[in-house]
Amino acid sequence: MVAIGVFLSSFLFTKYAKKCGYSEKVISQIVFWTVIVGIIGGRLFHIIAHYPYYHRHPFEILNIRNGGLAVQGAILSSLLFLIIYLNVKRIGVMRILDIMAVFVPLGQAIGRIGCFLNGCCYGKPTDLWIGVKFPFLEKKVHPTQLYYSFLYFILFLILYNISRKERKDGEIVGIYLVCFGLIRYFVDFLRGDLLPTIFGLKLTQFIGIFIFMVGSILLSVIFLRIDTTYKVK
C-alpha cells in the first residue's frame, strides 16, 4: 500500500506540475531523486529510533521487506534534498514544494491503510466501539493507522482546494507542515507501540513539534512580506 501511495501521489504530482508549465523531464528527475532520498531518510530515521534492536540485529538494517520506513524521516530528508536540488537547478523551490505538498497527504493516507493491514503503528488498548483486535495483541486497540489515514485524506482535500485558488508561493507547503506536525503530535498520544522519552512525550511528537514550528515560521515569513501570488488555470 505504501508503494501504491507513492506511485499515485507521484503520478498526480507529475500531471499537475506539467499543467503548471514544468517539463516532463524536469519533473521525472525531481520525482525519482525525491523518492530515493525519502526512502533512505525514512529508513535511517527508523533505524535511529529503534537503535537498540538494530544494534543487536545489524543484518536487519537493510531488510525493508517487513516495513521500517519512518514517515517523518522521509519528509524531512526529502524537504532538505529538494531545497538544495532545486536551488542548484535554479528551479523555483516554493512552487514545486507547493505542488508536491498537495498530493503527499494522499500518498500518506493510502500508506497508513497499509500500516493497518500490516498491523504496525497500532494504538493503545481501548474499550471503545472503534477499537480493533490484532491477532498478536491480547486487547482491542485504537486504530491509529486509520486515524492518520482519515486526517491525511481530509488534509489532501483541503490543500487541493487551496491549490485551485490564488495564493502565495510557499503557502501550501507551509500549511501542510503545520497540519502534519499537529496530526503527528496529537495522534501519537494514542500510539501503543512507541515509548515515551522526555516529559512523557515520544520522539515522534518532538519531531512533530519541530515540523509544526518550521511550517509556522514559513507561513509567517510568507504573509509578512510582499510576494507574488499565482493561480493554476
Q: Which helix (H) or strand (E) holds 167?
A: strand 167-168
Cα four-point dihedral sign 194, 207, 209, 32: negative
- Among candidates 74, 78, 100, which has minimal Cα distance to 22? 100
Amino acid at the residue 133? K
* 120-146 pLDDT per residue, tens: 888 899 989 899 898 888 889 999 999
Average pLDDT, the chain: 85
Per-range mean pLDDT, top range of 6-10, 30-34, 123-127, 146-150: 146-150
User: For residue 196, what pLDDT is reported?
Assistant: 65
The stretch 78-102 carries a mean pLDDT of: 90
User: For residue 122, what pLDDT is reported?
Assistant: 85
* Structural domain contains residue 59: yes
With cut-offs at 50, 70 and 90, classify the pLDDT of residue 195.
Answer: low
User: For residue 212, what pLDDT is reported?
Assistant: 96
The stretch 192-205 carries a mean pLDDT of: 80
Supply the pTM of this predicted model.
0.86
- The length of the chain, given as a count of residues: 233
* Structural domain contains residue 161: yes
In degrees, to the nearest 5, what angle opens at C-alpha 105 toward C-alphas 222 and 47? 100
DSSP 8-state code for residue 141: B
* Structural domain contains residue 178: no
Cα(4)–Cα(8) distance, rounded to whole angstroms? 6
Amino acid at the residue 171? E
In SS3 terms, 59-90 reads as HHCCCCCCCCCCHHHHHHHHHHHHHHHHHHCC
Residue-range definition of the domain harbouring residue 59:
2-121+130-166
* 108-120 pLDDT per residue, tens: 999 888 888 888 8
- Among candidates 108, 110, 137, 109, which has minimal Cα distance to 122? 137
13 in Cβ contact with 29 (< 8 Å):
no
User: Exposed/middle/buried for 158, CB within 10 Å: 0-12, 13-18, 19+?
Assistant: middle
User: For residue 47, what pLDDT is reported?
Assistant: 82
With cut-offs at 50, 70 and 90, classify the pLDDT of residue 233.
Answer: very low
Count of the separate structural domains present in the chain:
1
